[in-house]
Amino acid sequence: MKVLYFKEGGSMLSKKKKIFVLVSMVVLLVVTGYLNIALNKSDSSLDVTQTTSANFFTSCREDKLASRNYQIEIYDSIIASSTDATEVANAKAEKAKIASKMESELALEGLIAATGYEDVIVTSTDDNMNVFVKTSAGLNSNEVAKILSILVREAKVLATNVKIIPVE
């Protein structure tokens, strides 16, 4: 049996050639990066902040819906396969709780959007509530007070447990 070494298979690249190849690759990488930046700047018709916030609201809504649907599927499978009456009752109660939370968040989003915001997402846990509001100039104290008043009145949540986050 013959053992082949790298030197037997062909001539090895010298150190100078290796350095040349490595430097060439780095130069090509830098040129590619420069062209990418230069060509993207020519697309000045796109407003990056609007695209970013639109993507944020779209992806946040999709993630929230997917998570809730997954939870409902789990409870549906428990209801369908379990023989324990207590477990089935608990699964039905949790499923109803998720549906109620979804309805509540949707109603709050509608009420807040009715005050003049383009897009709103409300997420809630048992004690806390997060509100993401699409705004071009941030929120002043009067606007925060309006949103907080809606949440306290409709969701019966403590003002200290609410976080209002402007998204530009």
pLDDT digits (tens, 9 = 90+) for 128-141: 899 999 988 888 99
Any domain includes 17: no
**Cα-based distances in Å from 49 to 33, 137, 163:** 22, 12, 22
Segment 87-114 mean pLDDT: 93
Question: CATH code at 118?
Answer: 1.10.287.4300
Q: Is 86 exposed, middle or buried (0-12, 13-18, 19+ CB in 10 A)?
A: exposed
**Predicted TM-score (pTM) above 0.75:** no
Any domain includes 2: no
Any domain includes 34: no
Any domain includes 1: no
- Separation of alpha carbons 3 and 168, rounded Å: 65
Any domain includes 110: yes
Residues 26-40 pLDDT 10s: 777 777 777 777 777
The DSSP-derived string for 51-112 is: HHHHHHHHHHHHHHHHHHHHHHHHHHHHHHH---HHHHHHHHHHHHHHHHHHHHHHHHHHHH
pLDDT band at residue 153, thresholds of 50, 70 and 90?
very high
pLDDT number for residue 96: 93
Any domain includes 23: no
Segment 116-139 mean pLDDT: 89
Any domain includes 9: no
**Cα-based distances in Å from 53 to 47, 104, 121, 129, 131:** 10, 23, 12, 20, 14
Segment 108-116 mean pLDDT: 92
Residues in a beta bridge with 164: 131
Residues 40-67 pLDDT 10s: 765 544 454 455 656 888 899 999 999 9
pLDDT number for residue 39: 74
Range of the structural domain that residue 72 is part of? 48-167
Asked whether 134 and 101 are in contact (CB, 8 A), the reply is no
Any domain includes 12: no
pLDDT number for residue 10: 46
**Domain count across the chain:** 1
pLDDT number for residue 52: 60
